[in-house]
């Protein structure tokens, strides 16, 4: 079932459009990665979905069965914040509070009764692995602990949709792994949309991807569908001697669509992988080119991303 439907969303700051006619849908129970370079409009989009920024044009429709009215329909959402959990890229905490106090405070801000906020706080401390650190001041938490506390804050009121803005960008490898494992567990019960520029995280964690560029959606779909639709056969060659002459000769081969090359390496997009592999390998052997690497395969998600954001 569609949880959120975004229609022609626009956000202008003065005359500049940070988000330009954005249209997409998020299905309930999915984990979605919002990808794009810095300045693509990811944070602005998340803030509009969270109700923290008003769009210049367009609308966000949220599934109305979230509040048990007219199940299965979507309604224009004047205020959907009670259905949304949000962790900004640079969350702010009251460092003099303990983690436990902060979560109770967050629950009360979400209009939870005091007793429920306390019970939910204990549940969330266990979920994010901070039960033993619950009475410690937040100022003494590591970066990874603060991110886990931030996710607990975003989930305290049981939102339908969890929005995370670059949740692991500022973490060391250990903290990054801890937070990704948390997201892996959370996505079993909550719809998740998180922004990132780390392609590996998207491939590892998500069902769907949205690639943004210059405020617009460049590519969208399930990871499997995107790979199937946009990937193409490629040959990658690396040699110990210059490939300049070889590259110029290969440009005339009928099966070669495109070549990207440096002095000692080349990447060829081809139409027929088997023919390309046979002909290129034979050509290299005949001319005695010392090959370090010869790889036949298909374009990666990272290559698709780079192509999309350069368009």
Mark whether 25 and 38 lie in a shared domain: yes
Q: Which range of residues forms the domain containing residue 171? A: 2-90+153-228
Asked which of 4-13, 78-87, 132-141, 193-202 is least confident by mean pLDDT, the reply is: 78-87
Q: Per-residue pLDDT for 69 more than 50?
A: no
Distance CA 28, CA 3 (A): 5
- Residues 77-104 have a mean pLDDT of 86
> What CATH code is carried by the domain that includes residue 50?
3.40.50.300
Q: Identify the band that residue 47 occupies on the pLDDT scale cut at 50, 70 and 90.
A: very high
pLDDT of 72 reads 45
> What CATH code is carried by the domain that includes residue 244?
3.30.70.980
Mark whether 159 and 219 lie in a shared domain: yes
Q: Per-residue pLDDT for 77 more than 70?
A: no
Q: Which of 203, 228, 253 lies at the terminal end of a domain, its last residue?
A: 228
Q: Identify the band that residue 161 occupies on the pLDDT scale cut at 50, 70 and 90.
A: very high
Q: Per-residue pLDDT for 70 more than 70?
A: no
Any bridge partners for residue 25, and if so which?
5
Q: Does any domain span residue 296? A: yes
Q: Per-residue pLDDT for 265 more than 80?
A: yes
Mark whether 165 and 303 lie in a shared domain: no
- Residues 197-218 have a mean pLDDT of 86
Q: Per-residue pLDDT for 7 more than 80?
A: yes
Mark whether 193 and 237 lie in a shared domain: no
Q: Does any domain span residue 125? A: no
Distance CA 194, CA 185 (A): 14
Residues 221-244 have pLDDT tens digits of 898 888 888 788 999 999 999 999
In 3D, which of 124, 132, 185, 129 has the Cα closest to residue 158? Answer: 124
Q: Does any domain span residue 109? A: no
- Residues 154-176 have a mean pLDDT of 86
Q: Per-residue pLDDT for 75 more than 60?
A: no
Q: Does any domain span residue 255? A: yes
Mark whether 8 and 73 lie in a shared domain: yes
Asked which of 67-71, 198-202, 236-240, 293-297 is least confident by mean pLDDT, the reply is: 67-71
Q: What is the percent of the chain with per-residue pLDDT over 90, rounded to a whole number?
A: 56
- Residues 52-57 have a mean pLDDT of 90
Average model confidence (pLDDT) for the chain? 87
pLDDT of 64 reads 60
Q: Does any domain span residue 112? A: no
The encoded tokens of residue 219 equal 């590519």
Q: Does any domain span residue 122? A: no
Mark whether 181 and 301 lie in a shared domain: no
Q: Which of 228, 263, 285 lies at the terminal end of a domain, its last residue?
A: 228
Mark whether 189 and 236 lie in a shared domain: no
Mark whether 12 and 65 lie in a shared domain: yes
Eight-class DSSP state of 138:
G
The encoded tokens of residue 2 equal 């569609």
Mark whether 69 and 165 lie in a shared domain: yes
Alpha carbon 280 to chain centroid distance? 37
The encoded tokens of residue 282 equal 């034979």
Q: Does any domain span residue 98? A: no
- Total domains in the chain come to 2
pLDDT of 171 reads 76
Residues 91-130 have pLDDT tens digits of 889 999 999 999 999 999 988 999 999 999 999 999 888 9
Q: Does any domain span residue 103? A: no
Q: pTM for this structure?
A: 0.80
Residues 176-190 have pLDDT tens digits of 888 888 888 888 889
Residues 6+ apart with CB under 8 A from 189: none
Q: Per-residue pLDDT for 210 more than 90?
A: yes
DSSP H helical ranges for 88-141? 99-109, 114-127
Q: Which of 169, 200, 228 lies at the terminal end of a domain, its last residue?
A: 228
Mark whether 286 and 175 lie in a shared domain: no
Mark whether 81 and 163 lie in a shared domain: yes
Mark whether 191 and 241 lie in a shared domain: no
- Residues 57-86 have a mean pLDDT of 67
- Residues 269-284 have a mean pLDDT of 93
In 3D, which of 50, 117, 104, 112 has the Cα closest to residue 81? Answer: 50
Q: Per-residue pLDDT for 297 more than 60?
A: yes
The encoded tokens of residue 238 equal 């690396």
């Amino acid at each position: 079932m569609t949880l959120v439907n975004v229609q022609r969303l626009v956000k202008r700051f003065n005359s500049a459009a940070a988000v330009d006619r954005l249209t997409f849908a998020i299905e309930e129970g999915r984990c979605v990665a919002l990808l794009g370079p810095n300045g693509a409009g990811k944070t602005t989009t998340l803030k509009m979905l969270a109700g923290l920024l008003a769009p210049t044009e367009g609308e966000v429709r949220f599934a109305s069965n979230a509040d048990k009215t007219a199940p299965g329909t979507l309604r224009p959402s004047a205020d959907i914040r009670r259905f949304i959990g949000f962790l900004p890229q640079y969350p702010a905490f009251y460092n003099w509070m303990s983690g436990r106090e902060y979560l109770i405070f967050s629950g009360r801000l979400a209009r939870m009764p005091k007793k429920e906020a306390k019970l939910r706080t204990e549940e969330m401390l266990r979920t994010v692995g901070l039960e033993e650190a619950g009475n410690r001041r937040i100022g003494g938490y590591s970066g990874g602990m603060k991110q886990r506390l931030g996710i607990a804050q975003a989930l305290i009121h049981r939102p339908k949709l969890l929005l995370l803005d670059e949740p692991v960008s500022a973490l060391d490898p250990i903290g990054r792994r801890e937070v990704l494992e948390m997201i892996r567990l959370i996505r079993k019960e909550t719809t998740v949309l998180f922004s990132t520029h780390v392609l590996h995280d998207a491939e590892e964690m998500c069902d769907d991807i949205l690639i943004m560029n210059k405020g617009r959606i460049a590519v969208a779909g399930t990871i499997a569908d995107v790979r199937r639709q946009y990937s193409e056969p490629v040959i990658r060659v690396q040699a110990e001697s210059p490939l300049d002459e070889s590259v110029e000769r290969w440009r005339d081969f009928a099966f070669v669509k495109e070549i990207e090359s440096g002095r000692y390496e080349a990447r060829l997009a081809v139409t027929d992988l088997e023919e390309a592999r046979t002909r290129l390998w034979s050509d290299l052997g005949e001319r005695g080119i010392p090959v370090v690497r010869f790889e036949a395969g298909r374009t990666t998600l990272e290559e698709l991303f780079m192509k999309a954001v350069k368009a």
